[in-house]
Amino acid sequence: MGGVARALLRRGVQAVLVAVLVSGLCFTLVRLLPGDQAMRVAEGRYGYDRVTAASADAVRAELGLDRPAVEQFLAWVGRLAQGDLGVSLVTGERVVVEIAYQLGHTLLLSLAALSLALLAGPALGLFAGLRPGGVLDQAGMVGAAALRALPVFALGIGLMLVFGVTLGWLPVAGFHATENLVLPALALGLGLAAASARVARDATVAAVNAPFFGFALLRGLTRAQAVRQHVPRNAAVPVLAYLGVNLALLVEGVVVVESLFGWPGIGHALSHAISARDVPMLQGTALSLGLIFVALNAFTDVAILAADPRRRG
């Protein structure tokens, strides 16, 4: 079995484990949280002004929330085995339908942020690493430290103020036009880009100082040719490995960014599902985020194998 197939198989097994663990944990944790689930669902449906004990009783009866937890769990497992994620307790819509809509928006936002992190970050890091201690390197270090230190929320507000209000170039929030994607993608991706720039910078410095680089110059290659042939590929491996580890930050950031920019994705739906104790939506959204995480890691594995032939054996 080839390296790629092995990596994919390993991630496939991981995906199944994630699905079982995430779903079971969601089901259990919601019941351990303080508060009456029927009240929370009623609040999610009718708003806090209108929720009453009577409306909660109606919800309890409608959804069978007074049944024993084991009975509810087994019913849920039975449905899941048939591929049925159930119906949102708040909206009454099928979870699959809701997630299909939200997942598209989250994937779009995540891919835009990842593209930024993969294109801008390593390119800047490579140029900085070719002249360590130079102006670009120093400026890059200050910029990266600032971007990494800023919470995503503060960065988002700053982007809104500069590009939305002061310059008027981009919409502050919303999701109906392509231009709406730019600011949330920047808020989500700039931190990752900054970190990957520093990793790429260090990897470039290491590659340039490695014996193979010196040997390439001895073979008669110009410095530019040696850099083109040896540095990007060698720098790519640690950048990809770093991004793979830090994808959890992306998933975490999605929750904040989607709420801040009014972006209708999985992260926003997850926070609402927790607040409203909407168990089927919570399971569906957490499962989606978990599987996105596994899929991105699988993509990282394959990309690293493609970049580094030594790992394919």
Partner 1 sequence: MIRRTALSLFALALWPGMTLAQQPLRVVAPFHVDSLEPSRDGFNFTRMGVAETLVGADDGGLPVPQLASGWTLSEDRLTWRMTLRAGAVFHDGTPVTAEAVAASLLRARAQPGPLANAPLTSIAADGPGVVELRTSTPFTPLLAFLAESSSQILAPASWDEAGAVRRLIATGPYRLAGFQPPFRFEVERFEGWNGGPPPAIARAVYESVARGETRALMAESGRADLVFTLDPAGTDRLRRSPRVEVRVMPIPRTQTLKLNAGLPFFADVRARQAVSLAIDREGIARGILRSPAAAATQLFPPTLAEWHVPGLASLRRDPAEARRLLAEAGWTPGAGGILAREGRPFRFTLRTFSTRPELPVVAASIQESLREVGIDMQVAVVVSSEIPAGHRDGTLEAGLMARNFSLVPDPIGTLLADFGPRGGDWGAMGWNSPELIEILAALGRSTDPAERAALRGRASTILQAELPVIPVVWYDHRVAISRRLANVSVDPLELSYRIETIRWAE
User: Toward partner 1, which CB reaches closer, 36 or 308?
Assistant: 36
3-state secondary structure of 37: helix
d(CA 90, CA 36): 15
Contact 276, 47 (CB under 8 A): no
CB of 32 to partner 1, least distance (A): 15
CA distance 155 to 188: 9
Indicate whether 60 belongs to the interface with partner 1 (CB under 8 A).
Answer: no
From 262, 291, 307, 308, residue interacting with partner 1 (rule: CB under 8 A): 262
Smallest distance, partner 1 to C-beta of residue 185, A: 16
Q: Which of 259, 295, 299, 308 binds partner 1 (CB under 8 A)?
A: 259
* Cβ-based nearer residue to partner 1, 32 or 165: 165
Binds partner 1 by CB under 8 A, chosen from 164, 306, 307, 308: 164
Q: Other C-beta atoms within 10 Å of 245: how many? A: 11
The distance of closest approach from Cβ of residue 98 to partner 1 in the complex, given in angstroms and rounded to an integer, is 8
Which listed residue (175, 241, 302, 306) binds partner 1 by CB under 8 A? 175
CA nearest 26: which of 218, 255, 288, 223?
288
Q: What are the residues whose beta carbons fall under 8 Å from the beta carbon of 235, sequence distance 6 or more? A: 122, 125, 126, 129, 200, 203, 204, 207
Encoding tokens for residue 82? 């048939």
For 44, 115, 207, the CA distances from 106, given in Å and listed in that order, are 22, 14, 36
Token duo for residue 251: 């998933």
Q: Work out which of 5, 48, 135, 142 binds partner 1, going by CB under 8 A.
A: 48
User: Which pair of tokens denotes residue 216?
Assistant: 């390439």
Q: How far is the CB of 252 from partner 1 (least distance, A)?
A: 18
Q: Which stretch binds partner 1 (CB under 8 A): 47-55, 116-124, 138-146, 212-220?
A: 47-55
Token pair belonging to 62: 């409608």
Residue whose tokens read 């001895």: 218
Q: Which of 113, 172, 197, 292 binds partner 1 (CB under 8 A)?
A: 172
Q: Which of 133, 168, 211, 313 binds partner 1 (CB under 8 A)?
A: 168
Q: Which stretch binds partner 1 (CB under 8 A): 65-73, 106-114, 226-234, 258-266?
A: 258-266
Q: Any contact of residue 161 with partner 1 (CB under 8 A)?
A: yes
Give the residue, chosen from 4, 63, 141, 173, that forms a contact with partner 1 under the rule CB under 8 A: 173
φ/ψ of 218, rounded to 5, equals: -65, -30
Number of residues binding to partner 1, judged by CB under 8 A: 43
Min separation Cβ 199 and partner 1, Å? 32
How many residues are there in the chain? 313
Q: Binding to partner 1 by residue 14, rule CB under 8 A? A: no
Give CA–CA dist 161/167, Å, rounded: 8
160 secondary structure, DSSP code: I
Q: Which of residues 186-215 bind partner 1 (CB under 8 A)?
A: none
Which residues, 84 to 143, sit near partner 1 by CB under 8 A? 90-93
Cα 19 to Cα 67: distance, rounded to the nearest angstrom: 25
Applying CB under 8 A, the residues found at the interface with partner 1 are 34-36, 39-40, 42-43, 45-56, 58, 90-93, 157, 160-161, 164-165, 168, 171-176, 259-262, 264, 272, 275
